[in-house]
Structure 1
Amino acid sequence: MSETIARAWAVERRDGLVLGFTDHDGALDFDGIAFRPDSGLSARALVQGLGLSVDNSEAVGALSDSAITERDLMAGRWDGAEVRLWEVDWSDTANRRLLFRGHLGEVLRSGAAFRAELRGLSEPLGRAQGRVYHPRCSAVLGDGQCRFDLSRPGYAAEGVVEAEGRLALSGVDGHDAGWFEHGQLVVLSGEALGLSARVKADAALPGGGREVELWTALGIRPAAGDRVRLEAGCDKRAETCRMKFLNYLNFRGFPHLPPEDWLIAPKVNR
């Protein structure tokens, strides 16, 4: 039976795109996925630990315009993609065994090839859990703890890119300077569709425009004419939660904690 065993990979991006690869010399098809033999994708030896050890492996492949492209890798479209690896009998694909399930980690590129780290399902169990006691809020704006609805009027705006670099947008007016700082910019059209980044600074321009600076550049730069959405930002302070979002009941920080220097300050007897 070992003569008919092959490996098959399924990689699913966060936007729902699913690609299948196999090291067999012919195409395979199961679970509604077509596994292609012409991608150049292969796998290093899989290392699986007992207990809570992190599964460890690596996918290696050649860049292909019809599969995993350099442009998509640089844009981060494959970051965090779900990965499944089977050992399958190519003469009868119903006879298969799931070897690995996890996500793509760091992706490295060298010339026309890439190497992607694979992270197993047990990895999140090694992260710190529980609440952080800090004056600022520990929630993410709009998540299940914050409970703020970003679709409320005034907390998001759409605009059109006028210039690249420090993005100049038109059609965004009625917001104070800095309203979108610490928020998010999401690209709605063009080659950078779906990419997003955190906003470092934003300023109102005459005539209803906006000038936005991002913390990290997008993998694909939005071009003039592309549409983007700006979402209001939160700096995690209690005052911001109360005055800007009217959401203080859901504030997840501890604003009345004494500062760190209070612990080492000399005590005065009274």
Structure 2
Amino acid sequence: MTRHWFADDLETIATFWCILRRDGVTLGFTSHDADLWLDGVLHRASPGMVPSAIRKSADFEADSAEVRGSLTDEAIDSADLAAGRFDGARVRIGLVDWETLERQVLYAGTIGTVSEEDGAFSAELVSRKAELSRDATPRTSPTCRAGFCAPGCNLNPQAFTREVRLAGIDPAENAAFFEDDPEVAPHVGGRLRWLDGPQAGAETMVVGGGSNGALVLDLPLDEASPAGTRALLRQGCDHTLETCATRFANAVNFRGEPFLPGNDMLTRYPGPLQ
């Protein structure tokens, strides 16, 4: 039987929201004045965090919601927000009866844009219905549309992933040195996921090579990371047919149209025959 919320003059109802980050960390919060255990997750009493109005529609238009709050809980700080640890995290928001723990999820989606100002943050949420607005027909492109070692590419990620240990950090270049000096070129565009240390669980992209064979990363490095910190390093791919064929011998799974004429064909002038 479905409960009718707010049907009586006096209700024992609070809101709750659960955040499931991509690095495996799960955080729970509630507007109740005491912590609540829901689905095995401790939801901390955080009156400084409130979900704004949730708009739900019966059609295919994406639902909208937003979460605002102050950085008063130790589980959420400006460093984690800046490092992107909450980007793309899954979110569930709902109502809970703090006496019976009966609850109902009102909104489910992922965190989109996160902004911070004067010790407070706001996060826009993207509902699952937003996936219905995506074009199901792939667009043509000269480069491969499949993610490296993802469905469509079909390469085994284990064959291109290795465990490395941190040897040092160059803060000026935001670059990291690793033991055994992994070659830079094959790893540009690849991913690095920290296994321990202060940034454990965080994932970053290799954007280039620094001095002395260091790997330049796209997210800020924590200078407190000690030497020997373990990480998983995966190679990258520039998504061109040449790389797919010569480096990975995987041209049969190339998801692109490198020889299809583009829109610039309309502006080309004829040239003399050779």
TM-score calculated relative to the size of structure 2: 0.83
Q: 1:157: how far off? A: 5.7
Q: 1:235: how far off? A: 0.8
Q: Give the 5 Å matches for 1:107-146.
A: 107-146=114-153
CA distance in 2, matches of 1:179, 1:217: 19
SS at match of 1:151: helix
1:160 matched to 2:166: yes
1:98 matched to 2:105: yes
Query: What's 1:150 paired with?
Result: 157
Contact kept in structure 2, 1:24 and 1:37, CA below 8 Å: yes
Q: 1:268: how far off? A: 7.9
Q: 1:138: how far off? A: 0.9
Q: Which moved more, 1:12-21 or 1:218-227?
A: 218-227
CA distance in 2, matches of 1:35, 1:224: 32
1:14 matched to 2:14: no
**Residues 40-98 of structure 1 deviation map (CA, whole Å, 9 limit, x = unaligned):** 2212111223312221121122223533222222222222222212222223222x332
Q: 1:2: how far off? A: 4.6
Distance of aligned partners of 1:229 and 1:12 in 2 relative to their CA distance in 1, 3 Å threshold? closer
Distance of aligned partners of 1:43 and 1:204 in 2 relative to their CA distance in 1, 3 Å threshold? closer
CA distance in 1, matches of 2:81, 2:14: 26
The gaps in structure 2 that reach 5 residues or longer are: 1-7
Counterpart residue identity of residue 169, structure 1? F
1:235 matched to 2:202: no
Contact kept in structure 1, 2:176 and 2:216, CA below 8 Å: no
Contact kept in structure 2, 1:81 and 1:103, CA below 8 Å: yes
1:258 matched to 2:261: yes
Distance of aligned partners of 1:188 and 1:97 in 2 relative to their CA distance in 1, 3 Å threshold? closer
Distance of aligned partners of 1:8 and 1:168 in 2 relative to their CA distance in 1, 3 Å threshold? closer
Query: What's 2:206 paired with?
Result: 199
Q: Which moved more, 1:129-138 or 1:195-204?
A: 195-204
CA distance in 2, matches of 1:91, 1:74: 37
Contact kept in structure 1, 2:24 and 2:201, CA below 8 Å: no
Distance of aligned partners of 1:74 and 1:39 in 2 relative to their CA distance in 1, 3 Å threshold? farther
Query: What's 1:63 paired with?
Result: 71
CA distance in 2, matches of 1:13, 1:157: 23
Q: 1:151: how far off? A: 1.8
TM-score calculated relative to the size of structure 1: 0.84
Distance of aligned partners of 1:25 and 1:170 in 2 relative to their CA distance in 1, 3 Å threshold? closer
Query: What's 2:177 paired with?
Result: 169
Contact kept in structure 1, 2:197 and 2:226, CA below 8 Å: no
Q: Give the 5 Å matches for 1:241-252.
A: 241-252=244-255
Counterpart residue identity of residue 54, structure 1? A
CA distance in 2, matches of 1:128, 1:217: 30
CA distance in 1, matches of 2:265, 2:91: 49
CA distance in 1, matches of 2:223, 2:147: 26
**Residues 136-188 of structure 1 deviation map (CA, whole Å, 9 limit, x = unaligned):** 11111000100111322x6646242422233241423474x522122223323
SS at match of 1:122: helix
Compute the RMSD of aligned alpha carbons.
Answer: 2.7
Q: 1:243: how far off? A: 0.9
Q: Percent identity of the aligned residues?
A: 32
Q: 1:269: how far off? A: 11
